[in-house]
Amino acid sequence: MNRDELIAAMRATAAQEPRPVTVPGWGEVFVRSVTVEEIEAQTEDTEGAKDKHKIARGVARVLCDAEGNALLDPTNDEHVKLLAKQPWPLLRRILAVSDKGADLGN
Protein backbone atom coordinates (compact mmCIF):
# COMPACT_ATOMS: atom_id res chain seq x y z
CA MET A 1 0.00 0.00 0.00
CA ASN A 2 1.36 3.41 -0.88
CA ARG A 3 0.74 6.69 0.92
CA ASP A 4 -2.16 7.80 -1.31
CA GLU A 5 -3.91 4.46 -0.83
CA LEU A 6 -3.39 4.66 2.93
CA ILE A 7 -4.77 8.20 3.07
CA ALA A 8 -7.81 7.15 1.00
CA ALA A 9 -8.40 4.18 3.31
CA MET A 10 -8.08 6.39 6.41
CA ARG A 11 -10.61 8.86 4.98
CA ALA A 12 -13.03 6.01 4.40
CA THR A 13 -12.76 4.71 7.97
CA ALA A 14 -13.19 8.25 9.35
CA ALA A 15 -16.52 8.58 7.50
CA GLN A 16 -18.43 5.69 9.07
CA GLU A 17 -22.20 5.70 8.96
CA PRO A 18 -24.18 5.75 12.22
CA ARG A 19 -25.62 2.40 13.24
CA PRO A 20 -29.10 1.80 14.67
CA VAL A 21 -29.49 0.22 18.07
CA THR A 22 -32.72 -0.65 19.82
CA VAL A 23 -32.66 0.42 23.45
CA PRO A 24 -35.42 -0.93 25.71
CA GLY A 25 -37.67 1.94 26.73
CA TRP A 26 -36.15 4.34 24.19
CA GLY A 27 -36.77 2.57 20.90
CA GLU A 28 -34.35 2.87 18.01
CA VAL A 29 -31.50 5.36 18.32
CA PHE A 30 -28.33 5.75 16.29
CA VAL A 31 -24.75 5.64 17.44
CA ARG A 32 -21.45 6.29 15.82
CA SER A 33 -17.93 5.39 16.73
CA VAL A 34 -16.10 7.79 18.96
CA THR A 35 -13.00 9.29 17.38
CA VAL A 36 -9.53 9.59 18.82
CA GLU A 37 -10.02 13.37 18.72
CA GLU A 38 -13.10 13.06 20.96
CA ILE A 39 -11.34 10.76 23.41
CA GLU A 40 -8.52 13.27 23.68
CA ALA A 41 -11.02 16.10 24.19
CA GLN A 42 -12.77 14.20 26.96
CA THR A 43 -9.45 13.41 28.60
CA GLU A 44 -8.51 17.09 28.44
CA ASP A 45 -11.95 18.18 29.72
CA THR A 46 -11.71 15.94 32.76
CA GLU A 47 -7.98 16.12 33.44
CA GLY A 48 -7.36 16.88 37.07
CA ALA A 49 -11.07 16.84 37.84
CA LYS A 50 -13.02 14.20 39.68
CA ASP A 51 -15.55 13.65 36.92
CA LYS A 52 -18.12 11.14 38.13
CA HIS A 53 -19.82 11.04 34.74
CA LYS A 54 -17.17 9.94 32.25
CA ILE A 55 -19.30 7.07 30.95
CA ALA A 56 -22.36 9.30 30.56
CA ARG A 57 -20.27 11.88 28.69
CA GLY A 58 -18.95 9.12 26.45
CA VAL A 59 -22.48 8.02 25.61
CA ALA A 60 -23.48 11.63 24.89
CA ARG A 61 -20.62 11.78 22.39
CA VAL A 62 -21.87 8.78 20.36
CA LEU A 63 -25.68 9.18 20.40
CA CYS A 64 -26.77 10.73 17.12
CA ASP A 65 -29.51 10.87 14.53
CA ALA A 66 -29.46 8.82 11.32
CA GLU A 67 -27.26 11.46 9.65
CA GLY A 68 -24.68 11.44 12.44
CA ASN A 69 -25.70 14.72 14.12
CA ALA A 70 -25.24 14.70 17.89
CA LEU A 71 -28.43 14.45 19.93
CA LEU A 72 -26.93 15.31 23.31
CA ASP A 73 -24.14 17.61 24.42
CA PRO A 74 -21.42 16.00 26.56
CA THR A 75 -20.68 19.42 28.10
CA ASN A 76 -24.33 19.98 29.10
CA ASP A 77 -24.69 18.97 32.75
CA GLU A 78 -28.42 18.31 32.37
CA HIS A 79 -27.84 15.87 29.49
CA VAL A 80 -24.98 14.16 31.28
CA LYS A 81 -26.83 13.81 34.59
CA LEU A 82 -29.86 12.35 32.82
CA LEU A 83 -27.67 9.78 31.07
CA ALA A 84 -25.92 9.00 34.36
CA LYS A 85 -29.29 8.05 35.88
CA GLN A 86 -29.98 5.43 33.20
CA PRO A 87 -29.60 1.71 33.91
CA TRP A 88 -26.10 0.48 33.13
CA PRO A 89 -27.27 -2.23 30.67
CA LEU A 90 -28.79 0.45 28.42
CA LEU A 91 -25.64 2.54 28.25
CA ARG A 92 -23.49 -0.57 27.94
CA ARG A 93 -25.54 -1.60 24.90
CA ILE A 94 -25.02 1.80 23.25
CA LEU A 95 -21.29 1.74 23.92
CA ALA A 96 -20.98 -1.83 22.64
CA VAL A 97 -22.58 -0.91 19.32
CA SER A 98 -20.37 2.17 19.08
CA ASP A 99 -17.31 0.03 19.75
CA LYS A 100 -18.25 -2.41 17.01
CA GLY A 101 -18.33 0.43 14.50
CA ALA A 102 -14.67 0.22 13.69
CA ASP A 103 -14.66 -3.44 12.72
CA LEU A 104 -11.03 -4.48 12.92
CA GLY A 105 -11.71 -7.93 11.56
CA ASN A 106 -10.81 -9.64 14.84
Q: Spell out the domains of the chain, with CATH numbers in brackets.
A: 17-99 (3.30.2220.20)
Instruction: Tell me the pLDDT of the chain averaged across its residues.
Output: 86
Report yes or no on whether pTM surpasses 0.75. yes
Give the model's pLDDT for residue 47. 63
Residue 37 vs residues 20, 42, 44, 53, 67: alpha-carbon distances, Å: 23, 9, 11, 19, 20
- Please give the Cα distance from 2 to 31 (Å, whole number): 32
Kindly report, residue by residue over 50-66, the tens digit of the pLDDT.
667 888 988 999 999 99
Q: Specify the DSSP element, H or E, that contains 89.
A: helix 88-99
In this prediction, the residues of the chain whose per-residue pLDDT falls under 50 are 104-106
